[in-house]
A and B are shown apart, each in its own frame.
Chain A
Amino acid sequence: MSSAALNPERPNYLNQEYGIRSWLLTVDHKRIALLYLLSITFFFFIGGFFALLIRLELLTPAGDLVQADTYNKLFTMHGMVMIFFFLIPSIPAVLGNFLVPLMIGAKDLAFPKINLLSWYLYIIGGVMMLHCILTGGVDTGWTFYTPFSTAFSNTRVIEAGLSVFVVGFSSILTGFNFVVTIHRMRAPGMTWSRLPLFIWAHYATSIIQLLGTPVLAATLVLVVLERGLHLGIFDPTLGGDPLLFQHLFWFYSHPAVYIMILPSMGVVTEIVACFSRKRIFGYNFIAMSSIAIAVLGFLVWAHHMFVAGISLYSALVFSMLSYLVAVPSAIKVFNWTATMYKGSITFSTPMLYSFGFIGLFTMGGLTGLFLAALGIDVHVTDTYFVVAHFHYIMVGGAVMGYMAGIHFWWPKISGRMYPEAWGRLAALIVFLGFNLTFFPQFVLGYMGMPRRYWQYPPEFQVLNVLSTAGSTILAVGYLLPMVYFLWSMRYGKIADANPWHASGLEWMTTSPPPTFNFEETPEVTWEAYDYANIPAPEEVPVEH
C-alpha cells in the first residue's frame, strides 16, 4: 500500500457529517450522486423483476404463467421503469453528478440546490410510478401510443404519464446543471481541448436532455388532457392525428437513446485510454463525434414510423439521415481500437466491461442499420429483431458502460477497492448471460416472431428457452456486484488517491474526495490523457 493511503480519519464527503438529515438535505454533488445510485439501483431491480416474469412466461409457447392483459402490463412496466427510471438517469445522474465537477476542477456543480431538487423530482416521479404499478399498472407499452392510450386502455395511463412528466424535469435539471457547469466552472487552464472526453459526452447528452425532454413533457400533457377531457387532438374520430403523437413522442424518444448511450461512450473512452496506457487516439474526432451524434440524433426520429403511414419521401429522407448516425458512432469505435493498438493493456474488470461494450455496441449499431433500411425494416418491424437490436444498445451498450464506470470509479467513490477476481467473474457472467439472452432474439425476430405477445408457435420454443436461460445467468451477473460492492465498503483494500495511475483531475484529490473536492483549486498545464508522462503502476493494480 502506498504512503498516500487514505487515513480513515481524513475528512471526506462521507464522514464530514452523519445522519439522515445530512443526506436528505445535502447539496454536495457527490452525496446526491450516491442518493441517485441507491434510487436507480432500486428501480433497476424492479424493472429486472418484470423482465424475469416476461422471460418466464415465454419459456413455453402457451400463455400459462400470465394471460394477455397481465403480459401487456409486464412489458409496459418493464420498459417504463428501465427507460425513465434507470437508463436515462443512470450514468449522468450517478457518475456524471459525481465526476463532472471533479474532472473539471470545480468545487461543485453550478447550481447545487437545483441538483438536489432534481433528485427529489426523481423520487416524486418514482413514488407515482410505484403507486401506479401497485394499483394496477399500465398496458400501453412504454410508448403511450394514441388513440389506445387516450381512448381505449382501461389502465392507469394518466398517472403513468404524469409520473414520466415529473421525472422528465429531473432529467432536464441535471442536463441544465451540467451545461452551465462545463461552460462556467472549469479550473484555470482547463480549456475545452483539455477536457476529458467523459465531459464532452456529458455535454452532448445534456444538450439532448435540455432540448428533447420538454417536447415529451408537452406531449404527455396533451395525452393526459385528451384522455381526461376527450379533446380529440390525437383521436382520428374527432379529427385528430395519431401520427402527430408519434412524431412528437419520437422527437424526444429517439434522441433519448443517445441520452442513454453517449455517457457510456464517455466512460469507455476514459477506461480504454487508462488501461492501454496511451493517449487517446483522435481526441478531437471523439469529442466532435459526441456532438455530431447529439445533433444528428434529432433528425432521425421518424425511422420508428416507417410502417405507420408516413409519406414514402419523408421515409426515404429519414432512412438516409439514420445511416448518417453510423458515421460518428463508427469513428468512436475505430478510435477506441486504435488507442488499444500497441497499447499496454490490462484486463481489469472495467476494461473487460469496456471490451463488452465495444463489441455489443457494434453489433447493436450494425443491426440498427438493418432497421434504418426501408425494405428490411418493413420485414422486421415489431419483431424480436427490434427487441434484440435495442437491447444490444441499451443493455449491451449503456448498462455495460455503466458497470464499467462504477467499477473504475468505485475506489474514488468509496475509498475502497472492490475484489478484482469477483469483478472479472461477474463481467464474464454478464457478457455470457447477455449474449445468451438476446442473440437468440435476433434469430427469432428474423424468423418472424412478433414482439409484445404472450404466446408463440411451438417451433420458436428452443430459442425462447435459450433466451430465458440466459436471462437468469444475466441476473446472477448483476446481483454479484451488488454483493461485493457492499462487502468492499467494509472489507475492501483501502484505495489510494490514484490506484489505476489514471490521468484526470478526479484522481489528483484524495479517495474519497473532501466535500469541496480539492484542497486547492488545481491549475491545469497538461493535455488530457497524458499517459506518456504518467508512470504506469509498478504492479498491475489488480489482485490475482
Chain B
Amino acid sequence: MSTSDGAIIAEPEHGPELRHQFATVEQQREASTLGMWLFLSTEMMFFGGMFCAYLVYRYWYYDEFAAGSRSINIWMGAINTGVLICSSLTVALSVRAAQMGKRKTLLVLLVLTLLFGLAFLGIKGVEWHDKFVEHHVPGLSFSAADLVRDYPQLHINPHHIQLYFSLYFAMTGLHALHMVIGIGIFLFLTYKAWKGAYTPGYYTPVEVGGLYWHFVDIVWIYLFPLLYLIDRKPL
C-alpha cells in the first residue's frame, strides 16, 4: 500500500490460509497447536476444581458415594467408554487422512466421529433420565430413600448422598457440555473438509480439533472409574 509520503507498508505475501500476523505457515501451525495445548491446560484446571471437591467428599462420605455409585448404570457407562475410545481412534485416523490429503477418507472418519459423539450423548441422556425418574437429581424433589432401603449394610446419610449426585451431575454435565462443543467443532471441520479446505500443506484445524476431542475423551476415562466403579464388589 502506498501512502502520502511514499512509505510502503508491505502487503504480506501469502496464500489464503496464512493470516496476516504470521510470517510463515509453519509459524502459524505451531502457534495454533501450542494454543490448543495451553487451552487444554486451562481446561484441566477447570475440571480440577471439581475433582478436588470430589476427592474431599469421597474421602469423608465413602459409604454414601459407594451407594450412589452402585445406583448408576455401569453398563451404559462402560458402553459409553467404549464409544469414546472408538471416537478417539477415528479422530486420530482423520488427522492422518488430512495429512495424506485423502479427502474422502477424512470425510468418512469425521462423520463417524460425529456419530460416536452423538451416541455418547444419547446414552448419557438416557442415564440422566433414569436418575430423574428415580428422584436422584439434586434439588427439592431429591430422595435417597430407595438407596437407604437397598443398602442396609452401608451407613447412609441422605444429605451426604446428595453430594455424590451433585458432583455426578456437575462433572458429567460439564463433560457433556464439552462434548456438545466438540460436536460443533467437528461439524465445522466436516463442512470445511467437504469443501476441500484441508490439504497436506494445511490441516492444522483438524489436528487442533482432534487435540480437543482427545482431551474430552481423557476426562471421561477418569470420570468413569471415579463415578461408576467406586465399590462394586457384592455386599
Contact = CB atoms under 8 A, between A and B. Distances in A.
A212 B45 contact: yes
Interface residues of A, number: 52
Contacts of B34: 179-180, 183-184
Contact of B31 (A101, A107, A110, A172): A110
A181 B21 CA distance: 10
B46 A217 contact: yes
A218 interface: yes
B31 to A, nearest CB: 4
Interface in B152-196: 157, 159-160, 162-163, 166-167, 170, 174
Nearest to A111: B35
Contacts of A109: 21
A203 to B, nearest CB: 12
A17 to B, nearest CB: 13
B235 interface: no
Greatest chain A CB density within 10 A among B23, B31, B48, B49 is at B49
Nearest to B44: A214
Contacts of B46: 214-215, 217-218
B20 A107 contact: yes
Contact of A185 (B9, B31, B47, B49): B31
B170 A239 contact: no
A219 interface: yes
Contacts of A210: 38, 41-42, 45
Contacts of A521: 23
Interface residues of B, number: 48
B234 to A, nearest CB: 27
B56 A244 contact: yes
B50 A218 contact: yes
A305 to B, nearest CB: 15
A21 to B, nearest CB: 19
Interface in B99-131: none
Contacts of A10: 3-5, 7
Contacts of B45: 210-212, 214-215, 218
A218 B4 contact: no
Contacts of B1: 11
Interface in B29-61: 30-31, 34-35, 38-39, 41-43, 45-50, 52-53, 56-57, 60-61
Interface string A206-233: 0000111111011101100100011111
Given A9-B5, A219-B49, A214 B42 contact: yes
Interface in A226-253: 229-233, 237-241, 244, 247-248, 251
A176 interface: yes
A141 interface: no
B49 A214 contact: yes
A184 B30 contact: yes
B15 interface: no
Contact of B138 (A7, A211, A231, A520): A231
Contacts of B39: 176
11 contacts: A110-B35, A111-B35, A112-B19, A217-B49, A218-B47, A218-B48, A222-B50, A231-B163, A238-B162, A240-B57, A516-B20
Given A239-B163, A248-B49, A514-B9, 17 more contacts: A111-B35, A176-B35, A184-B27, A210-B38, A214-B43, A217-B46, A219-B49, A230-B138, A231-B166, A232-B138, A239-B57, A239-B60, A240-B57, A241-B57, A247-B52, A248-B53, A516-B10
